Structure 1
Amino acid sequence: MSDTASLADLVRDWDPPTVRTSRRVDPWLAAAFADLVDAAPPDLAEGAPLPPLWHWFVLLGHPRTAELGEDGHPADGPHLPPVPGRRRMFAGGRFTQHAPIPFGALLHGSAAVASVTPKSGRTGEMLFVTVRQELRIGDDPAVVAVEEQEIVYRSEPEGAQRRVIPRPEAGEPDPGGAWRRSLATGTVLLSRFSALTYNGHRIHHDHPYTTTVEGYPDLVVHGPLMALLALELPRVHAPGDTVTEFGYRLSRPAFLPSTLLATGDRDADGATIAVAAEGVAPSLTATVRFR
């Protein structure tokens, strides 16, 4: 595969279905994540609102072990493109909330592939897949929130030269910011987050695989964990405001060993936030909008 057209041909007839899931919003899951990051939990009473993006702990898939690939990720799935030697990277997303998602409610998710865009860059071919999910509560047909996730896929079939990702150089100045939150990372933290999100990908827990097969310098911090850490800033520093929009971009991985530093500043109707391993350029940049 040497040009974008060949990658486009692989997905030309791909017709991914809509996937629907339903689960009750259990306060245990929220309490578990708060304890994971040593944070005060939100109000867990029935009817209290679930913090934004915490539905990630509710609407989880649970593939059978026999359905997993070499990397610990599902070998196949309704929203996984038919790309040989598929390598996956979480690139960012957008979240818009129209109404609260209350604890104790039955939450319904309806997810479909919104766009598929082949691109070619200096590192070769890539496939950008955007998955859009609409969230509803109980029997109410109204959409309470919309999430879009952008996933980038690379093709590395058997025999292809493996990429090598160097550890980023330290030396970046402290970004400052009135809002600040740090989180020390380690193998236990990554393992617990993988367990909480039912994520078996080996780049988060298997060091030999991560370095020799995927080409990373060390275990990789979960992109969703960094997004949730960014949202801890408005949750703690602006508790009286309601987040209605959250957009984030993941520009580079963060690796162990590192301490993540989330920094942010309030503006007229929201905030700008960055998350980085200390001394390194940000891995995640985000904007928040309040009601």
Structure 2
Amino acid sequence: MSETANLADLVRDWDPPTVRTSRRVDPWPAAAFADLVDAAPPELGDGAPLPPLWHWFVLLEHPRTADLGEDGHPADGPLLPPVPGRRRMFAGGRFTQHAPIPFGAVLHGSSAVTSVTPKSGRSGEMLFVSVRQELRVGDDPAVVAVEEQDIVYRSEPDGAQRRVVPRPAGGEPEPAGAWRRRLGTGSVLLSRFSALTYNGHRIHHDHPYTTTVEGYPDLVVHGPLMALLALELPRVHAPADTVAEFGYRLTRPAFLPSTLVAAGDRDGDDPGAATVAVAAEGVAPSLVATVRFR
């Protein structure tokens, strides 16, 4: 039986539940993230709008340490596929906002797996899992925003051959665009972002594990950090516009040591849209994204 068939069999009867989380939108994590990337914070008073995707700092899970696996992620969970030796990669996502999420309000999230697809790629057999989260505010039943995340899982059980990911060659031009932002990275920055998002994944803070177990050349920059850095461009350069949709795709990892370069601009044919990219300096983009304004 092929590994694809094995993966398909493993998840054939998997019936993940809907997971619900509620928490007050506190200004502290938002101010902390702004300081993390050396940016001006948004208005933080009650009723002011939370910037797009900054709910990532609000609806956080906090698994017990005893429940974590080798990689620092939970060994098991309602939305985690039953894959042995699970290795996780963030592939991208989509965000649509219908109404603002205000500071001071109680935010409710409802998450469910919407698709599970085994595929074959250059690095072997993989499982693509999409998770959809609907966001509501207070007692209003209306959905104010919808987020979808695409996660890729590989199976590396004990005894499996470990992959080796080479460091990408340099010499690539920086992403184009009048909107520009640079962010120097390092182990301290990655550790602080991991702490802010309660992300224990060891590829972001444990160099020996990252290089010897997961096969990367150095610590890996968080995909969500690059997505948020992309959204800093319209937040700073188009403050009068409201982001209604944001779609992004992670094309390759970014590794330390590197300076991230985010760049983009409005679409010349459609001023209600913009294209942005984030790349490690000298390397082809790790994230490409589109923004649509309301």
Q: TM-score band (shorter)?
A: over 0.9
CA distance in 2, matches of 1:149, 1:12: 21
Aligned-residue RMSD, C-alpha: 0.7
Paired residue for 1:168? 168
Paired residue for 2:281? 278
- Aligned-pair CA distance for 1:265: 1.2
| TM-score normalised per structure 2 | 0.98
Q: Is the 8 A contact 2:11 2:81 kept in 1?
A: yes
- Aligned-pair CA distance for 1:99: 0.1
CA distance in 2, matches of 1:111, 1:152: 17
Q: Identity rate of aligned residues, in percent?
A: 88
| TM-score normalised per structure 1 | 0.99
Q: Is the 8 A contact 1:79 1:112 kept in 2?
A: yes
- Aligned-pair CA distance for 1:17: 0.5
Gaps of 5+ in 1: none
1:200 aligns with 2:200: yes
| Secondary structure of 2:69's aligned partner | coil
| Secondary structure of 1:209's aligned partner | helix
Q: Is the 8 A contact 1:182 1:259 kept in 2?
A: yes
- Aligned-pair CA distance for 1:4: 1.8
| Secondary structure of 2:60's aligned partner | coil
- Aligned-pair CA distance for 1:228: 0.2
- Aligned-pair CA distance for 1:122: 2.6
Q: Is the 8 A contact 1:118 1:126 kept in 2?
A: yes
- Aligned-pair CA distance for 1:167: 0.4
Give the stretch that moved more between structures: 215-224 or 170-179: 170-179
Paired residue for 2:102? 102
Give runs of aligned pairs for residues 1-291 of structure 1, distance below 5 A: 2-267=2-267, 268-291=271-294
Report the AA paired with residue 204 of structure 1: H
| Secondary structure of 1:143's aligned partner | coil
- Aligned-pair CA distance for 1:5: 1.8
- Aligned-pair CA distance for 1:149: 0.2
- Aligned-pair CA distance for 1:53: 0.1
Q: Is the 8 A contact 1:3 1:120 kept in 2?
A: no
Q: Is the 8 A contact 2:175 2:261 kept in 1?
A: no
| Secondary structure of 2:132's aligned partner | strand
Report the AA paired with residue 26 of structure 2: D
| Secondary structure of 1:119's aligned partner | strand
Report the AA paired with residue 68 of structure 1: L
CA distance in 1, matches of 2:175, 2:217: 24
| Secondary structure of 1:254's aligned partner | coil
CA distance in 2, matches of 1:279, 1:124: 28
Q: How many residues align?
A: 291
Structure 1 outlier segments of 4+, above 4 Å? none
CA distance in 1, matches of 2:6, 2:79: 20
Q: Is the 8 A contact 1:90 1:223 kept in 2?
A: yes
CA distance in 2, matches of 1:90, 1:134: 19
- Aligned-pair CA distance for 1:86: 0.4
| Secondary structure of 2:134's aligned partner | strand
Gaps of 5+ in 2: none
- Aligned-pair CA distance for 1:270: 1.5
- Aligned-pair CA distance for 1:195: 0.3
Q: Deviations over 1:172-219 (max 9, x none)?
A: 012221000000000100000000000011100000000000000000
